[in-house]
Amino acid sequence: MWGVKQFTTLSDRGRFLKTGDLARYNADGTINLLGRKDSEVKIRGQRVNLKEVEILMRPQLGPNFDIFVESVLPKGSTPTLAAFLFAKDAHSLSSKSVDGHGFAAHPTSLSARIQLVDSPLQTSLPVDMVPAVYLLVSALPTSISGKVDRRALTERVIALTGAELDTLMHGQPAEVLPPSTPMEKRLVTLIADTPQLECANIAVNASFLKLGGDSHRNGLYIFPAPTIASLAQRAQVQIDTKTIDFDRNSLFGLTPMQRHILSGERSPTGSSVLIELQRQQESCQVADAILSLVIQHPMLRSRFVVLENGEVRQMMMDAVDGGLLFGEREIKLSEDFETLRETGISLLDPCKGPVVGVYLIQSLGGKQMLLLVAHDLIVDSRSWVVLQSDLEQLLGENTLDEVPSFQEWYNLIQGKAKQNDILRELASEGWAGGDDDSNIPIYGSSLKLLRGQTAALDSEPCHLLFGDVRELLQVQPWQIILAALARSYYLVFPDRRPPSLAV
């Protein structure tokens, strides 16, 4: 250390800040950092005074223990705070020594005492200053001068894994509970991105902070739910219970097909597609691709709102907000596919969500498939083709080109409708819906209006188009056109009921 002041000036080297680090100048002008001269270390980016922690622990453990608090780096983990305990009366503990590293397993009496020590520390100290590991030392290593060799204590921990440390503290390794829900799996994957952590070593019942988490900005969110399991549950509950607050200006009308679905002529339900994946995909990769798909297509984030007057409008949410259902299943029988499909569709809710469900399926034959279900108000047959193509592109680690949103497309069609003489008169029934359009039948008056237009074909082109069908069936050209349209609809959408025709 350089004197008492915080800053000092060295000749020919300028002004220096005294940080408390012990350093040595080399002849070439470089500096070797030798460590701290004081007892401060950094845990998760925060300075921790080791002596202060030791002083607070001593009254709790009593005079029969020597306490040494140090920063350690267990194998396959992140830096954490450890308290090394040495019992002056070792025989009273009846501890069983463990060969190889100089630590002893905790006897029952010591485990109970440590719990009494840990609780007040949790309430009186910042989380970074509370030891995550308590190790009972069989014998203290000493230096040549006879002082306790703290460096030797920390080096013993380097070869020990988290499971081995748990065995020393609790008599057996802590149970590593694997993630069981999609959100838990996603959180485990994110935490595993931290250096030196592996998914297999991350338990959902382990504290995020003791796993090495250092997101201080999210402290208010994490502290009430410190484990992965509780974080996932809290996040899911917030998604499920979030009320949708909407701006009326963001609401827009329904398409003719959506109106038809809600008119009662067909029960609103859902449709599905089953995709066989060409190569094996990790759950997190599929989840990322699905999330990108939902971001790409705003209609997959839509909600339907029933206003006070009973009118139904739709809106696009900025975030997923519970609109997406993602899960994993193992299926052995073909009947299970239909059961899963029906279950997924039954969970869809166009008002509250979810509106889309995705299931990653592992089949008995080793094939990996994706079952996608969506509400009829959200996805039609043609849309499934687009979504399947985009999803295959995303799973191939490609990006998608930006496309206009469904609402932009709706507004464009609405504008075109208002510019056309005939369609402008139909505006209250179709794309440009007015205030009272929900009470007007979709097809009836529009067909009457269209029939009232003066448009006729000469007999020769009419005969070329329809031949003798008119005379044989005693029908009019417009009826033949309607029949042709209905037939075309059936051929294009074989999974749907034929449309209703008003004649």
Assess if residue 410 is contained within a domain.
no
- Compare 76 and 219 and report the one with higher pLDDT: 76
Helix, strand, coil percentages in the chain from 3-state DSSP, rounded to 5: 40, 20, 40
- Compare 153 and 187 and report the one with higher pLDDT: 153
Q: Domain end: 403, 437, 470, which one?
A: 403
**55, 106: one domain:** yes
User: Residue 33 forms beta bridges with which residues?
Assistant: 23
Q: In angstroms, rounded to a whole number, what is the distance separating the alpha carbons of residues 255 and 10?
A: 78
Is the predicted pLDDT of residue 202 greater than 80, yes or no?
Answer: no
Range ranked top by mean pLDDT from 28-42, 154-168, 302-316, 474-488: 302-316
Q: In angstroms, rounded to a whole number, what is the distance separating the alpha carbons of residues 100 and 102?
A: 6
Is the predicted pLDDT of residue 97 greater than 60, yes or no?
Answer: no
Q: What pLDDT score does 414 carry?
A: 63
Assess if residue 176 is contained within a domain.
no
Backbone angles phi, psi at 295, to 5 degrees: -70, -40
The answer to whether the beta carbons of residues 395 and 293 sit under 8 Å apart is no
Range ranked top by mean pLDDT from 38-42, 268-272, 368-372: 368-372
Assess if residue 117 is contained within a domain.
yes
Backbone angles phi, psi at 356, to 5 degrees: -135, 140
The counts of H helices and E strands in the chain are: 17, 16
Mean pLDDT rounded to a whole number for the chain? 72
The answer to whether the beta carbons of residues 121 and 56 sit under 8 Å apart is yes
Q: Where are the alpha helices (DSSP H) in 227-328?
A: 228-241, 256-262, 283-296
Assess if residue 375 is contained within a domain.
yes
Assess if residue 1 is contained within a domain.
no
- Compare 234 and 363 and report the one with higher pLDDT: 363
The answer to whether the beta carbons of residues 242 and 236 sit under 8 Å apart is no
Is the predicted pLDDT of residue 433 greater than 50, yes or no?
Answer: no
Q: What pLDDT score does 404 carry?
A: 61
**126, 139: one domain:** yes
Range ranked top by mean pLDDT from 74-83, 93-102, 398-407: 74-83
The answer to whether the beta carbons of residues 274 and 363 sit under 8 Å apart is no
Q: How confident is the model at residue 30 (pLDDT cuts 50, 70, 90)?
A: confident
Q: In angstroms, rounded to a whole number, what is the distance separating the alpha carbons of residues 500 and 493?
A: 14
**200, 61: one domain:** no
The share of the chain scoring above pLDDT 90, in percent, equals 1
Is the predicted pLDDT of residue 501 greater than 50, yes or no?
Answer: yes
Q: What pLDDT score does 434 carry?
A: 39
Q: What pLDDT score does 492 carry?
A: 77
Is the predicted pLDDT of residue 198 greater than 50, yes or no?
Answer: yes
**91, 46: one domain:** yes
103-138 per-position pLDDT tens digit: 887 777 777 778 777 877 877 788 778 888 888 888
The CATH number of whichever domain residue 194 belongs to comes to: 1.10.1200
The share of the chain scoring above pLDDT 70, in percent, equals 61
Using the CB atoms, write b or e for 105-141: b if 16+ within 10 Å: bbbeebeebbeebbeebeeebebbbbbbbbbbbbebe
Is the predicted pLDDT of residue 5 greater than 80, yes or no?
Answer: no
**163, 76: one domain:** yes
Q: What pLDDT score does 92 carry?
A: 52
* Burial class of 309 by CB neighbour count within 10 A (0 to 12, 13 to 18, 19+): exposed
Q: How confident is the model at residue 73 (pLDDT cuts 50, 70, 90)?
A: confident
Q: For the residues 54-61, what does the mean pLDDT come to?
A: 84
Q: What pLDDT score does 373 carry?
A: 92
Q: How confident is the model at residue 372 (pLDDT cuts 50, 70, 90)?
A: very high
**24, 54: one domain:** no
Q: Domain end: 146, 170, 194, which one?
A: 170
Assess if residue 104 is contained within a domain.
yes
DSSP-derived letter for residue 27 is: T
Name the residue with tokens 């033949």.
480
**267, 326: one domain:** yes
Number of domains in the chain: 5
**11, 74: one domain:** no
**286, 202: one domain:** no
The CATH number of whichever domain residue 128 belongs to comes to: 3.30.300.30
Q: What pLDDT score does 437 carry?
A: 35
Name the least confident of 354-363, 417-426, 436-445, 466-475.
Answer: 436-445
Q: Where are the beta strands (DSSP E) in 307-366?
A: 312-316, 324-331, 356-363
Q: Domain end: 241, 261, 292, which one?
A: 241
Assess if residue 446 is contained within a domain.
no
Name the least confident of 40-49, 298-307, 441-450.
Answer: 441-450
**256, 395: one domain:** yes
Is the predicted pLDDT of residue 49 greater than 80, yes or no?
Answer: yes
**259, 361: one domain:** yes
Cut 0.75: pTM above it: no
One-letter-per-residue 3-state SS of 113-179: HHHHHHHHHHHHCCHHHCCCEEEEECCCCECCCCCECHHHHHHHHHCCEHHHHHHHHHCCCCCCCCC
Full residue range of the structural domain in which residue 349 is found: 248-403
Q: What pLDDT score does 253 carry?
A: 85
Assess if residue 435 is contained within a domain.
no
DSSP-derived letter for residue 433 is: -
Chain-centre distance of CA 291, in angstroms?
Answer: 9
Is the predicted pLDDT of residue 329 greater than 80, yes or no?
Answer: yes
Q: For the residues 278-294, what does the mean pLDDT come to?
A: 84
- Compare 257 and 449 and report the one with higher pLDDT: 257
